[in-house]
């Protein structure tokens, strides 16, 4: 299921009309073989996958976009719908197929596919089905794009990022989970809304599991480069710790609220993942809280576990983890979050 044939071959007998429309100038060289061609593949064309694809297109992040899904009719429909918007978008070649060969040569593979939870199904059984699904997704991606970066979005993202790392055989710097990048955005929004400032002026991280055991790093929050809690202490301004806990609770519950209202989340995760894609492919070297191999950080030594830490991202994937200071309480909560994920992993028998 490839992109519709180019209109340049619509002349008599399949004549390439581009030759008639354009005459080359004199003394030219062929295009440079070193010219950068950026290709992104999105696996899964559900609400999340298509929000990511649409945001990637509007932000002009790729020269080529490949879509893969098991449902061929929906896949072709989504491909055509995006192709028909070509006049309003930066020029991007869009392909789609149920065959993973369409992803060959990708710089970034974004995985959003996942099994849906059946009524009454346990989280562990759902996870086991997703692991089985990933065993049919990750190996062909690694085969066709052995130098790519894997960006996992499917939930539970931390465990599935670990599974993808094991299945792909990639070095850990090239397997990343979207983690708490979106949670941190929600966190920044709620703090900004609470204090009536611009969210872009709020520096704040949620780390750990993308889930109930996530950790809000209150000690390092700053607004306009001013550390918030230190400022309140120095100014002798009292605050209720419960207020802080309520904001974190709202972050954890915000996705559930969106899902209860509209049935799914899509736009925010679309922007979040496109933001990560930009940092990775354009070597922005920005700091993002994403799911990375966390063993050896902050006393997390119980096993190989992926969870979110503030990491510098660039063309090589994860370039390093920020050496951010945590309070003793934050460290303990982070270790507890790691234990929560490791307990789930131990039941998978990997």
Mean pLDDT for 118-140 is 86
Q: What is the DSSP letter of 208?
A: B
Task: Give the model confidence (pLDDT) of 261-312 as tens digits.
Answer: 998 889 999 999 999 999 999 999 999 999 999 999 999 988 899 999 999 9
147 Cβ neighbours under 8 A, 6+ residues apart: none
Residue 106 has pLDDT above 90, yes or no: yes
Which regions of the chain does DSSP assign to beta strands (E)?
39-43, 64-68, 93-97, 108-111, 149-152, 175-177, 202-203, 206-207, 215-216, 222-223, 226-227, 286-293, 306-314, 317-321
Amino acid 36: pLDDT: 77
Mean pLDDT for 59-88 is 97
User: Across the strands, what pairs with 223?
Assistant: 202, 226
Mean pLDDT for 113-133 is 81
Give which of 85, 77, 53 is closest to 66, Cα–Cα. Answer: 53
Percentage of the chain modeled with pLDDT above 90: 63
Amino acid 1: pLDDT: 54
Q: What is the DSSP letter of 259?
A: H
Residue 238 has pLDDT above 90, yes or no: no
Task: Give the model confidence (pLDDT) of 9-65 as tens digits.
Answer: 555 555 666 666 766 777 666 666 656 799 999 999 999 999 999 999 999 999 999
Residue labelled with tokens 């925010």: 268
Mean pLDDT for 67-81 is 97
Mean pLDDT for 222-228 is 81
Q: Do the Cβ atoms of 40 and 56 come closer than 8 Å?
A: yes
Amino acid 5: pLDDT: 44
Q: Do the Cβ atoms of 115 and 133 come closer than 8 Å?
A: yes
Give which of 163, 181, 148, 77 is closest to 113, Cα–Cα. Answer: 163
The pLDDT-based confidence of 254 (bands split at 50, 70, 90) is confident
Tokens (6 digits) for 291: 């799911």
User: Across the strands, what pairs with 287?
Assistant: 312
Distance CA 139, CA 325 (A): 38
Tokens (6 digits) for 147: 């130098």
Q: Do the Cβ atoms of 298 and 325 come closer than 8 Å?
A: no
Task: Give the model confidence (pLDDT) of 164-214 as tens digits.
Answer: 999 999 999 999 999 999 999 999 998 898 888 999 998 989 999 998 889
Amino acid 33: pLDDT: 62
Amino acid 241: pLDDT: 72
Instruction: Provide the angle, in degrees to the nearest 10, between the axes of the packed helices 241-262 and 181-195.
Output: 120
Amino acid 264: pLDDT: 87
Question: 144-148, 240-244, 344-348: which has the minimum mean pLDDT?
Answer: 240-244
Query: What is the number of residues in the chain?
Result: 350
Residue labelled with tokens 């929600």: 186
Question: 7-16, 218-227, 228-237: which has the minimum mean pLDDT?
Answer: 7-16
Residue 248 has pLDDT above 90, yes or no: no
Q: Which residues of 332-349 are buried (b: 16+ CB within 10 A; e: fewer)?
A: ebbbebbebbbebbeeee
User: Across the strands, what pairs with 97?
Assistant: 68
Amino acid 19: pLDDT: 66
Cα angle at 47 between 191 and 176, to 5 degrees?
65
The pLDDT-based confidence of 3 (bands split at 50, 70, 90) is very low
How far from each other are the two terminal CA atoms of the chain, in whole angstroms? 35
Helix, strand and coil content of the chain, in percent to the nearest 5, comes to: 45, 15, 40
Amino acid 243: pLDDT: 78
Amino acid 231: pLDDT: 73
Give the global pTM: 0.88
Distance CA 110, CA 113 (A): 9
Q: Do the Cβ atoms of 286 and 181 come closer than 8 Å?
A: no
Residues with catalytic annotation?
210
Residue 229 has pLDDT above 50, yes or no: yes
Amino acid 75: pLDDT: 97
Amino acid 123: pLDDT: 66
Tokens (6 digits) for 177: 């989970």
Q: Do the Cβ atoms of 95 and 66 come closer than 8 Å?
A: yes
């Amino acid at each position: 299921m490839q992109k519709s044939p180019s209109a340049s071959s619509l002349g008599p007998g399949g004549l390439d009309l581009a030759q008639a429309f354009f005459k080359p100038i004199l003394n030219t060289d062929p295009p440079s073989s070193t010219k950068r061609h950026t290709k992104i593949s999105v696996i899964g064309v559900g609400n999340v996958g298509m929000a990511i694809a649409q945001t990637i297109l509007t932000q002009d992040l790729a020269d080529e976009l490949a879509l893969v899904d098991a449902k061929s009719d929906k896949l072709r429909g989504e491909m055509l719908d995006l192709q028909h918007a070509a006049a309003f978008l930066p020029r991007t070649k869009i392909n789609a197929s149920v065959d993973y060969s369409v992803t060959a040569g990708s710089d970034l593979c974004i995985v959003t596919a996942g099994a849906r939870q059946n009524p009454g199904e346990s989280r562990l059984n759902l996870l086991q089905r997703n692991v089985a699904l990933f065993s049919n997704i990750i190996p062909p991606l690694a085969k066709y794009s052995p130098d790519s970066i894997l960006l996992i979005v499917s939930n539970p993202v931390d465990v599935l990022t670990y599974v993808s790392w094991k299945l792909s055989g990639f070095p850990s710097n090239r397997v990343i989970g979207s983690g708490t990048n979106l949670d941190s955005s929600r966190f920044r929004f709620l703090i900004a809304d609470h204090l009536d400032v611009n969210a872009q002026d709020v520096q704040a991280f949620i780390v750990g599991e993308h889930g109930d055991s996530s950790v809000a790093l209150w000690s390092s929050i700053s607004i306009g480069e001013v550390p918030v809690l230190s400022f309140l202490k120095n100014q002798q301004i009292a605050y209720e710790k419960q207020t802080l806990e309520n904001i974190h609770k709202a972050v954890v519950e915000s996705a559930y609220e969106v899902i209860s209202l509209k049935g799914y989340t899509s736009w925010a995760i679309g922007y979040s993942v496109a933001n990560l894609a930009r940092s990775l492919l354009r070597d922005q070297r920005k700091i993002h809280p994403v799911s990375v191999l966390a063993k050896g950080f902050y006393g997390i030594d119980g096993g190989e576990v992926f969870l979110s830490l503030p990491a510098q991202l660039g063309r090589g994937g994860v370039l390093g983890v920020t050496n951010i200071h945590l309070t003793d309480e934050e460290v303990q909560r982070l270790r507890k979050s790691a234990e929560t994920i490791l307990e789930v992993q131990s039941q998978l028998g990997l």
